[in-house]
Structure 1
Amino acid sequence: MSLIGEERKDYILNVLNLEGKVRTLALVDQLKVSSETIRRYMEELEEQNKLKRVYGGAVKINLTREEPTPLKREVIRAEEKKRIGRAAASLVEDNDIIFIEDGSTTLQMVHYLLNRKNITVITLSAPIMYLLIDYQNKGFFSGDIYFLGGKVNSKHARVSGALTERMVEHFYADKAFISIDGIMIEKGISSFDAERGQLAKQLMSHAKQSIILSDHSKFGAMQFYKIADVKDVDIIVSDVEAPKEWHAYLKDKDVSWINAD
């Protein structure tokens, strides 16, 4: 395969990762090649398990429809999550009241909150609560901790459901930090789990600012439950720059992007 052929396949994968699907006719027009050439590229990419061909084009392979366990989440892209967590924590100011939603990326925030003064953390994540308690008992964290009650999800060590949602109604925060499972410009931000997704949406509605934490693997992914449109987000913190194809939309909707490099 010539270099230009490899570049064309990279272009196909880039579009696929951003939009979740590609159409043969659109690629013919964009790459100025025949439909037979596009189909050959797709066959080769499918053999490499990088996409799934469907009628008229191809779709992104979703390797899992289930949320990984907390242990798996902690080790997947661990370095990227640390950088994202550090950048997100830099947005927290003294005296802030913040929601920290469940997630291995939001968990990383806690390590970088220790020098903040008089902050209040409200969370539904047991690991986040225990980490804050540990730091507080060691004298490293001096803020207030609120743990939302409700139905316990033992597998993911968090609470959710109607009781938790009713508790959220009693709180307002300066910032809500939300971990997501998928983001597409046209489809919005999404979650594997409907109860968790509904709760994340409620946290966003009870905060002055909504801040999304997402590594690049979530781009172009659309999961089971839609949390919100991208335009409803104030800031997105990621491990890479925003895809250039998203720049116009983000600017038009006044959504800020932070690259945690």
Structure 2
Amino acid sequence: MSLVGEERKGIILELLNSEGQVKTVDLVKKLAVSSETIRRYLEELESEGRLKRVYGGAVKINVNGEEPSYLKREVLYADEKRSIGKAAAALIEDNDVIFIDDGTTPMQIIYFLMNKRNLTVLTMSMPALHLLMEYKNKELFSGDIYLIGGKVNNIHSRVSGSIAEKMVALFHADKAFISIDGITQKGITVFDAERGQLVYRMMENSKQRILMSDSSKIGQTQLYRMAEWRDIDIVICEKEMPREWKKTLNEQEVSWIVAY
């Protein structure tokens, strides 16, 4: 017997609660219905305030409007983040000075640096620092590591604040790899203004600014506008850019790399 609509929507919500995300293509296979039917279910659930539709599926609603903790962010979209990290690492050349922010997506770059030589890595992320130290102790990383010092945020395992901004001003990077919490055709947003200000300062001191984002951030807008499209050189995502964004990004000379 086929499942009725309400039962199917119940299954979607169960998957969402356990995984934090659902993808339209996966739901089509699991529920044996068309993509149009899945989109209708997601629209109905969104109108009921039970999920947030994003490009290619839906995510759980953040009822508090607050940034999820590092541990929660780490497990979401893990496969997509790893492919994005691999694509980003391919842009890094020997002798580069690179900035890796505190996002769980830029951190994936570190796993693909083993064949790079004489790098200098600047980071505000405690987990990234620990992983770089581990790799260097095992002789899997060649280069220098700088931790941007400042006020410690224990929930998000990063530093920020005015002291960190002053330290960032001392460095110049070849490439800044940044993560965000929402991107729309109008620009780039994050939950935390303090973090956003620090990352933007590093972007100002970098020759090339590379935005790394899984597709769940597409179409979302958060509290603080961190940057405009004119501030970005490259986007790396596991999905193609929305078609309606093409004109805007072309005008701002932003390249979009699809990570596989």
Q: TM-score range by the shorter chain?
A: 0.7 to 0.9
Q: Which runs of 4+ in 1 moved over 6 A?
A: none
Deviation of 1:251 (Å): 1.2
Aligned to 1:84: 84
Q: Which residue type is aligned with residue 167 of structure 1?
A: M
Q: Give the conservation status (yes or no) of the 8 Å contact 2:50–2:61.
A: no
Q: Give the conservation status (yes or no) of the 8 Å contact 2:181–2:190.
A: yes
Q: Equivalents in 2 of 1:104, 1:228: separation in Å?
A: 19
Q: Equivalents in 2 of 1:6, 1:159: separation in Å?
A: 43
Is 1:192 equivalent to 2:230 in the alignment?
no
- Normalising by structure 1, report the TM-score: 0.79
Q: Which residue type is aligned with residue 46 of structure 1?
A: S
Aligned to 1:226: 225
RMSD of aligned residue pairs (Cα, Å): 2.5
Deviation of 1:63 (Å): 2.8
Deviation of 1:174 (Å): 0.4
Is 1:160 equivalent to 2:160 in the alignment?
yes
Q: Equivalents in 2 of 1:121, 1:48: separation in Å?
A: 42
Q: Which residue type is aligned with residue 155 of structure 2?
A: K
Name the SS for the 2:105 alignment partner. Answer: helix
Deviation of 1:157 (Å): 1.1
Q: Which residue type is aligned with residue 246 of structure 2?
A: H
Q: Equivalents in 1 of 2:35, 2:217: separation in Å?
A: 24
Q: Give the conservation status (yes or no) of the 8 Å contact 2:101–2:124.
A: yes
- Normalising by structure 2, report the TM-score: 0.79
Deviation of 1:9 (Å): 8.7
Q: Give the conservation status (yes or no) of the 8 Å contact 2:188–2:225.
A: yes
Deviation of 1:43 (Å): 5.7
Aligned to 1:139: 139
Stretches of structure 2 lacking an aligned partner (at least 5 in a row) = 6-33, 54-58
Residues 8-23 of structure 1 correspond to what in structure 2 (within 5 A)?
A: 10=39
Per-residue deviation, residues 209-249 of structure 1 (Å, max 9, x unmatched): 10001111001111111110122100000011111111111
Aligned to 1:75: 75
Aligned to 2:255: 256
Q: Which residue type is aligned with residue 248 of structure 1?
A: K
Stretches of structure 1 lacking an aligned partner (at least 5 in a row) = 14-41, 53-59
Per-residue deviation, residues 45-72 of structure 1 (Å, max 9, x unmatched): 52483569xxxxxxx9853411111111
Name the SS for the 1:145 alignment partner. Answer: strand
Aligned residues: percent identity? 50
Question: Kindly tell me: are residues 249 and 48 of structure 1, through their superposed partners in 2, closer, same or farther at Cα, counting changes over 3 Å?
Answer: same
Residues 44-123 of structure 1 correspond to what in structure 2 (within 5 A)?
A: 46-47=47-48, 49-50=50-51, 62-64=61-63, 65-123=65-123
